[in-house]
Amino acid sequence: MSASNGTIRIGLVGIGKIARDQHLPVIGASPDYTLTAVASREGRYEGVPNYRTLAEMLAGQGDLDAVALCQPPQVRFSAALAAIEAGRHVFLEKPPGATLAEVGILIEAARARGVSLFASWHSRYAPGVEPARHWLSGRRIRSVAIAWMEDVRHWHPNQAWIWQAGGMGVFDPGINALSIATHILPPFFLTGATLSVPENRQAPIAADLHFTDADGTAIEAVFDWRQTGPQTWDIRVDTEDGLLVLSKGGSVLTIDGSEQPLPPEAEYRGLYDRFAALVRSGTSDVDLNPLIHVADAFLRGERRTVEAFTD
Amino acid sequence: MSASNGTIRIGLVGIGKIARDQHLPVIGASPDYTLTAVASREGRYEGVPNYRTLAEMLAGQGDLDAVALCQPPQVRFSAALAAIEAGRHVFLEKPPGATLAEVGILIEAARARGVSLFASWHSRYAPGVEPARHWLSGRRIRSVAIAWMEDVRHWHPNQAWIWQAGGMGVFDPGINALSIATHILPPFFLTGATLSVPENRQAPIAADLHFTDADGTAIEAVFDWRQTGPQTWDIRVDTEDGLLVLSKGGSVLTIDGSEQPLPPEAEYRGLYDRFAALVRSGTSDVDLNPLIHVADAFLRGERRTVEAFTD
């Protein structure tokens, strides 16, 4: 299925900040897509049919090829399954689910129905990530230090759900670091962790994570939501050939202190290019590893109670 | 590789209670294996060479085909990787690792080295499980209730590690229930959970788990380590064709109250038969689903503090 001009007819579900800031402008500018409809309980978007629910959109738009799901992970499973079972390709915002098991069910459903499922990790499309992966490939790594430290009051003001069970707390941004690390490093696993949980919350405000790989490399990560002033989103990889630093969330790359030339930021354009390629080749791309590391940290991490957090 | 009589030469690592009660008698009685050596820091076993470590056993027994690893999950990864890299087939006691990510690395290492990796779930070989799976296949399930309730002081007296971060607490027995449920039911996932954690421990003493599947079936599980008196290891599956009850950990099966005839208990014989078949066919069997559900419960579950536990 595709529109007469060869584009992918796409509908978007969940008109929130990320949809307005990223998805809708990128879809509008891409030669691969025609935005055909949107569904949202509260948001509105001019120029295309608006529906209240995905079910109404699927019923009303019989020629829709694909849907992009921008709702929170807690409600994403039933929408994704409904879209897959209706024969639509599915683009999932990160993380792909509130649990690992539900994503496994989606993978199998997409395979059975013959549609493409894309679990997107936008940080992997930051401009420095692919050059970093390429430079590290085949090089001997001595150690890795990840620091993902930001001010939760600035980035997630009054978001109660993010502090509740399943909201993941500081792993909401931290999973972006893990999505980059799992893309540029050999496979690694958690050997220990400390999760700092405010006494009035369920989810951690900070985490110290210790990983290693098959060669015993030390990979240390610090996630912290209590960082005021300058914000830190850095991955430092010490190799036998020099020190690689990905900073500002992957948008700056230095090797031994020398800043590398990079293309401009285009994370969501990269994601939508990838999704179009998946749809056209009839394949899926669901890498669970970032979410596996988060689940492993909750499974194996030691919890310590820290002072109450109030917005 | 195999012995001149066609058996699999196997070495066992970790001479603890489970090795003495189950592994060693079953290996001794099986026509498929020759017990070639054991490795243990403290235990001894008569009649075969004894080594202190796996590394010494691998160095000393060049014709070993396979190893069975019976150490706690916290130390199993490096042993499993060393055995795989030395070209030996590997049998893992449950759970297959302390994290999901490390098991992924073992799967890939076994594939690359061309050896068989078996992540064993002994409860799946309880006599009622395969008949239950067969009876449920294709039947319409209305609801499922799992109750796994036992006295931790009886089964795990003074085992400090089981209460520490990564020790999994009540999920140590609970994962047996999940290994059966994932084997006899269609795929399901967690929608919510409450983990009850003693104020002086890291791991839960009880858990209430809510799962569902693609059809919205209610699957409820209660794990509790505070059960004195009669112990409960039951899975009740209400179907449109009647009520199936697997009780006593899978050793008793009733359908609408009528007890079904079953073969005698032979869980570990079943596991070793399976491992021999995997080795001879050059395949692996690593089902991560039981551990995925545990990780999902830690990831998404709400924690509440309950009274201190002392042995």
Q: Interface pTM (ipTM) of the complex? A: 0.96
Q: What three-state secondary structure class fits A228? A: coil
> What whole-number distance in Å separates Cα of residue B307 and Cα of residue B310?
10
Contact A187 B105 (CB under 8 A): yes
- Per the CB < 8 A criterion, the answer to whether B58 and B34 are in contact is no
* Strand ranges of the sheet holding A66-69, from the earlier edge strand across to the other edge: A50-51, A33-39, A8-13, A66-69, A89-92, A117-119
Residue A240 has pLDDT above 90, yes or no: yes
What percent of chain A has a predicted confidence (pLDDT) above 70? 99
Answer whether 0.80 is exceeded by the pTM.
yes
Q: How far is B107 from chain A (nearest CA, A)?
A: 12
Q: Is A94 a catalytic residue?
A: yes
The predicted structure's pLDDT at residue A3: 65
Q: How long a stretch of residues is chain A?
A: 311
Rounded to whole angstroms, the Cα distance separating A249 from A63 reads: 38
Share of residues in chain A with pLDDT > 90 (%)? 93
What's the rounded mean pLDDT across residues A161-176?
A: 95
Q: Judge: B299–A168 Cβ closer than 8 Å, yes or no.
A: yes
For residue B202, give Cα distances in angstroms to A12, B155, B169: 42, 19, 8
Label the pairing between strands A66-69 and A89-92.
parallel
Q: What count of CB pairs under 8 Å joins A to B? A: 107
Mean pLDDT score of chain A, rounded to an integer? 96
Nearest by CB: A298 against B164, B188, B298:
B298
Nearest CA in chain A to B302: A165
pLDDT of residue B191: 97
If one counts every other C-beta atom within 10 angstroms of the C-beta of residue A61, the result is 19
Q: What are the helix (H) ranges across B61-170?
A: 76-85, 100-113, 129-136, 152-155
CA dihedral in degrees (B108, B114, B116, B117; nearest 10)? -20
Q: What is the pLDDT of residue B263?
A: 95
**Nearest residue on chain A to B190, judged by CA atoms?**
A99
Interface test with A, best of B75, B100, B182, B293 (most A CBs within 10 A): B100
On whether the CB atoms of residues A213 and A185 are closer than 8 A, the answer is yes
| A101-145 per-position pLDDT tens digit | 999 999 999 999 999 999 999 999 999 999 999 999 999 999 999
- Which residues in chain B land under pLDDT 50? 1
Element (H, E) at B273: helix B267-281
pLDDT at B2: 60
Query: Catalytic residue positions of B?
Result: 94
- Give the number of residues written for chain B: 311
The pLDDT of residue B226:
97
pLDDT at A13 over 80: yes
| CB nearest A101 (choices: B101, B188, B192) | B188
Q: CB distance B300–A187 less than 8 Å?
A: no
pLDDT in the model for residue B40: 95
Q: What is the pLDDT of residues A42-97, one digit of tens each?
A: 889 999 999 999 999 999 999 999 999 998 887 899 999 999 999 999 999 999 99
Confirm or reject CATH 3.30.360.10 for domain B123-264+295-306, answering yes or no: yes
Sequence spans of domains, chain B: 8-119, 123-264+295-306
CB contact, 8 Å: B308 with chain A?
no
Pick from A80, A86, A110: nearest CA to A282 = A110
CA distance A208 to chain B (A): 14
Maximal C-alpha separation, chain B: 59
Is some CB atom of chain B closer than 8 A to the CB atom of A100?
Answer: yes
Q: Which fold has domain A8-119?
A: Rossmann fold (3.40.50)
Question: From B80, which residue of chain A is nearest by alpha-carbon distance?
Answer: A214
Asked if A118 and A95 count as a contact pair (C-beta separation under 8 A), the reply is no
